[in-house]
């Protein structure tokens, strides 16, 4: 199994719990600040400005974090470029999205999007395509290639992979996209993807 296959389930849990810990820490700071303001009788205007600053910090901490595309040489002649984001569905559950491009020694390449729900979450339908809908109403689909993740083991139910290379070229820049992920129960999970993430994914197919 290639290096990009290793983070199927192990990497998203630390990220998830790190975010929870960060939010909890900020909430404690926020509470301590309020107690201090009341104790030392800070003027109302300064009190209000401090509260607004703390609120902005809490809001900022809840926003998805986007990392630049990383480059890895898997072995001589084969390069892997990948972008990782945390996305949320409509139920508020966090998913991990890994967009990557692998360039083989002979020059061929694949560009895929791997979606990972937490264990015990959604069971993805590995036979149905991914649907991408822009905020302008444009609808595109990406072929499901989940069965190609590994030739030796079955793809976990909470993992899906899609060929997004032709789709990315058709997506407009600077507008958000909603992903519709088919599941085995016949329903679908919808994930919101900010425009910043789409732009980052599109760098994978840039010349």
21 and 76: one domain?
A: no
Query: Is residue 1 one of the residues assigned to a domain?
Result: no
Task: Please name the residue ranges forming H helices in the chain.
Answer: 12-39, 44-62, 165-170, 195-202
75 and 131: one domain?
A: yes
* Rg of the chain taking only CA atoms, in angstroms: 20
Give the pLDDT of the chain (207 residues) as one tens digit per residue: 444 444 333 333 333 333 334 444 555 555 565 555 566 555 655 645 555 555 555 444 444 444 578 888 888 889 999 999 999 999 999 999 999 999 989 988 999 999 999 877 899 999 999 999 999 999 999 999 999 888 788 999 999 999 999 999 899 888 999 999 999 999 899 999 999 999 999 999 876
For residues 67 and 99, what is the distance between their CA atoms, to the nearest angstrom? Answer: 11
Q: Do 139 and 131 meet the contact criterion of CB atoms below 8 Å apart?
A: yes
Q: Does this model's pTM top 0.75?
A: no
What residues make up the domain containing 185? 65-205
22 and 83: one domain?
A: no
pLDDT digits (tens, 9 = 90+) for 50-62: 555 555 554 444 4
List the one residue out of 70, 66, 19, 17 whose CA is nearest residue 193: 66
Q: How many domains does the chain have?
A: 2
19 and 107: one domain?
A: no
Q: Do 117 and 86 meet the contact criterion of CB atoms below 8 Å apart?
A: no
151 and 138: one domain?
A: yes
């Amino acid at each position: 199994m290639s290096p990009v296959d290793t983070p199927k389930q192990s990497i998203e849990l630390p990220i998830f719990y790190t975010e929870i810990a960060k939010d909890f820490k900020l909430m404690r700071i926020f509470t301590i600040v309020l107690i201090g303001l009341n104790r030392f009788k800070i003027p109302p205007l300064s009190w209000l400005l401090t509260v607004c600053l703390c609120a902005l910090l809490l809001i900022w901490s809840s926003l998805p974090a986007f990392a630049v595309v990383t480059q890895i040489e898997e072995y001589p002649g084969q390069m892997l470029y990948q972008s990782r984001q945390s996305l949320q569905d409509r139920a508020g559950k966090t998913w991990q999205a890994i967009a990557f491009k692998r360039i083989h020694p002979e020059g061929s390449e694949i560009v895929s999007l791997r979606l990972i729900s937490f264990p015990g979450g959604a069971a993805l339908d590995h036979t149905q395509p991914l649907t991408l809908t822009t905020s302008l109403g444009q609808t595109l689909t990406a072929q499901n290639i989940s069965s190609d993740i590994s030739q030796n083991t079955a793809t976990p139910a909470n993992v899906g992979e899609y060929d997004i290379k032709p789709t990315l070229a058709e997506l407009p820049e600077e507008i958000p996209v909603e992903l519709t992920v088919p599941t085995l129960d016949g329903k679908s999970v919808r994930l919101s993807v900010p425009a910043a993430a789409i732009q980052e994914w599109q760098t994978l197919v840039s010349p």
